[in-house]
Structure formats: C-alpha cells, structure tokens
Amino acid sequence: MSGKNKVLKNPTIGAMSIDVAQEIGHIVSQLRDIRDASLEHRNRLGRPPKLPSRKVLATVVDALAAALFPNRLGPAGLTEEGIDYFVGHTLDTALRDLTDQVRRELKFAGEQADADIQARTLVRAFAAELPQIRSLLDSDVLAAYEGDPAARSIDEVLVCYPGITAVIHHRIAHVLHCLGVPLTARIIAEIAHSETGIDIHPGAEIGESFFIDHGTGVVIGETAVIGKHVRLYQAVTLGAKRFPKEESGTLVKGNLRHPIVEDDVVVYAGATILGRITIGRGSTIGGNVWLTHSIPPDSHIVQNPHS
C-alpha cells in the first residue's frame, strides 16, 4: 500500500470519544433529575404538553392578513372575480390551523375533556370578529397615511410600515386574548415583536386610528388602555411603575399597573410613562420625558429646558 493511502490511527481518539460520551451521559442524567424535581414536570406527568407552534401561528397570521387585505397582501395576479374565492379558501385553511393551535393551548392548560369542542367554539367566535378587525385596521392604516408626510400611498403604509405590521398582529392577538387563549395570543404578539421591535402585550386595549411611527423599541404593557387617534413614536414605553408582591414574595398578577392614554394624544420619541396614571385627552408628551403622575386634558409636557 502506498504512503498516500495509509490511514494513520491515533490511539487517543477512541478514548476521547468514550470520555465525551460518559460526560454527556452524566449531563443527561443531571438534566433529567432537575426536570423530575420541577413543578412544571410534576404538574404534567403522563401528558407531555404540545404547545401552540410559533411557526404555524406565523403562517396563520400571514394568511389572515391576506384574507383581510387580499388586494394588497394577497397573491400576485389575483383578479376581482377570484377575490371572494381566495378569501374563503384562505380563511378556511387558516381557521382550521388556528383551531388546532387553540386546542393545543386548552389541553396544555388542563382542559382535556372538551378541548375539541371549546377550540371550535372559540375560533368561530374569533372569526365573527374579523369584519370588526378589518374596520379597525382601516382606521389605523388611514391614521398612518395621514399622520406621516413621508407616506406616499395607503399601499405603502400597509406593506412597508412596521407599526402597521405590529398593529395587525395586535388586533388579532387581542381578540384571542379576550376569548381566553392568552398563550396563543402572546405567541402572535411575540412574532410581531421579533419582526418589528415593537412589543405590544395582547391584553392592551387600543382604540381606532392608532399610529406607531417608526416604532422600534415601543413597549405597551398588558393593562394599558389607549383611546382613539393616538400616535406614538419610537422608544415610547407605557409601562408599570412598580410590581407589588404577595406575602410569599410572588409578584401580584393581573393588577391594573399600566397607563390610560385618552383620545387624541401624541407621545414623542423616548418618552416613558409609568403606572396606572391617566394622560388626558388632547395632550402632548415631549421626547424623553419621564412621567409617573396623571395630567389633565390638553397638557403639554416637555423636559425642563433648564435641567
């Protein structure tokens, strides 16, 4: 055999493989012990959970958006005669997939007995809200077009603006949240967060004609209430001032801890508004303001120019 065809053996390779395998086996055993001791595992013994799929829900939201706006977000070449067929077919597929994801959440939450019936009932209720979702989104898109001098068309706003992408996801997620499937709703919200940098909790209540300009870094908390014709700029936070705890030290869940922003309010870039306070109707909050108290209608709050 020629030199170039010889296989040189390293006697240490086999020993190294055995050592690595033993180490991995030890790690696997440790991880199993931790899982067995965890509260999550004890609560789900005998029924491994199948969580809603982020990938499937992303497809569902894209399909719902296309059904809501078929001329702009539907397939290329869609004719006027074919729109209703496309919308019907797309909704049928999307709602079937959504039903499966809702069923998974219900079973994960322990609703084993009638999860199938509940899932179908919830998704039918969700589907009935789609015309209202479309009407709200029309007002949001128009607010963005009218509120941004750089916007050349409604089409540009709908296709290009991250604020509109985030609001489409939120309008869908909020309905699901209100119907009692918060995990599915939260996954949809986090899909938008990943895509746009805009973090809107699905529990937040947002009125019509809502516009987020630019958008990166906007945070809107779970119990925030936003009125009509409100405009936010990038890096605005509507957050909680403090997090009260139970006697056990666990954070209190579900208390009202985020701001109320009344109609016709503008909040400029970098402003931070914290706590269950009220921003009165028609007010303007300047950039980088830190606000932790309520203000009356038609207020104009800016940083202290002498600070």
* Confidence class for position 280, pLDDT limits 50, 70, 90: very high
pLDDT of residue 12: 54
CATH topology agreement for domains 52-198 and 217-307 = no
pLDDT of residue 35: 78
Domain residue spans in the chain?
52-198, 217-307
Which segment of 22-31, 38-47, 258-267 scores lowest on mean pLDDT? 38-47
Q: CB–CB of 137/167 below 8 Å?
A: yes
Which segment of 44-58, 135-149, 227-241 scores lowest on mean pLDDT? 44-58
The verdict on domain 52-198 having CATH code 1.20.140.10 is no
What's the mean pLDDT when you consider all of the chain?
A: 90
Residue 29 has pLDDT above 60, yes or no: yes
Taking the alpha carbons of 151, 157, 159, 165 in that order, is the dihedral positive or negative? positive
pLDDT tens digits for 177-224?
999 999 999 999 999 999 999 999 999 999 999 999 999 999 999 999
Q: CB–CB of 105/202 below 8 Å?
A: no
The CATH number that domain 217-307 falls under is: 2.160.10.10
* Confidence class for position 251, pLDDT limits 50, 70, 90: confident
Tokens of 74: 């539907």
* Confidence class for position 85, pLDDT limits 50, 70, 90: very high
**For the chain, percent of residues with pLDDT exceeding 90:** 74
CA distances from 197 to 99, 219, 269 (A): 28, 9, 14
CA distances from 23 to 13, 14, 26, 152 (A): 15, 14, 5, 61
Q: Which of 212, 128, 231, 124 is CA-nearest to residue 168? A: 212
pLDDT of residue 20: 80
Residue 49 has pLDDT above 80, yes or no: no
Tracing tokens 């104009």 back to the chain, one arrives at 300
Residue 300 has pLDDT above 90, yes or no: yes
* Confidence class for position 31, pLDDT limits 50, 70, 90: confident
Q: Which of 272, 170, 255 is CA-nearest to residue 219? A: 272
Measured CA to CA, the distance from residue 258 to residue 256 in angstroms comes to 6
Residue 44 DSSP code: T
Measured in degrees and rounded to the nearest 5, phi and psi for residue 266 equal -120, 130
CB contact set of 193 (below 8 Å; sequence gap of 6+) = 166, 199, 200
pLDDT of residue 176: 98
Residue 203 DSSP code: T
Mean pLDDT of the region 45-65: 87
Tracing tokens 């030290």 back to the chain, one arrives at 249
